[in-house]
Amino acid sequence: MDFMPDTAALAAPLELKFAPATGVFEGYAAVFHNVDSAGDRILPGAFTASLSACRREGRFPPLLWQHDPKRVIGIWEDMYEDSNGLYVRGRLFTDDITQAREAYALLKENVVSGLSIGYRTVESARDGKTGVRLLTALELLEVSIVTFPANDRARVRAVKSQITVGLLPAEKDVEAHLRDAGLSRRQAKALMAHGYKALAARDAMDGDDTAEGAALLATLAARIRALT
């Protein structure tokens, strides 16, 4: 078994949502079928046994800052697997811990946007064609907020929430969202260059049509997902 804190950073359908209560946020700590910089891919069901053990014990792994065991900055209030990956909802101790307040501010401003998992490998196999290590069972030790996740897609973003309230998100966030929907890097960049930039420019000229543009973007993302 090996403990892999920094190299096990997979992530999300790439949004970070904030609840009205200060310090509460949710997102994804890992996504399935995605290869990280260490050449690992987590498969569905990898966390099942570990999460079951956590529920029996009545506690989830610690919420750390940058994988530092000395910097516990909050608590994970819920974790479960869905079709996308490992969903997490956490609460930062903003009233009592200075680092937690700083982390929350950085998350809300999208300055720091990474989530990363620390784990022990319980079961794995090697893909003979690609050399990718397939992780089928993991013991989850901790989940951290990090600056540089090993997998760049392991980031928490506010794309969905921004669209919901009628805002047009930043281009880099929309491009990541499109790639999550199934487009290749080249396809996403082409669509951004010839579609989204034109949409954003038109909304800037029209002034009051930003909500319309966001609605069109949301519809486009839904249709892309339906095709993949």
Residue found by looking up tokens 């078994």 in the block: 1
Query: How far is 228 from 46, CA to CA, in rounded Å?
Result: 23
Active-site residue (options: 116, 144, 175, 177): 116
Query: How far is 174 from 203, CA to CA, in rounded Å?
Result: 16
Query: How far is 215 from 225, CA to CA, in rounded Å?
Result: 16
CB 29 within 8 A of CB 14: no
Q: And the tokens for 171?
A: 């281009």
Residues 6+ apart with CB under 8 A from 208: none
Active-site residue (options: 15, 67, 144, 175): 67
Active-site residue (options: 113, 142, 144, 175): 142
Q: Annotated catalytic, 67? A: yes
Catalytic residue ranges: 67, 116, 142
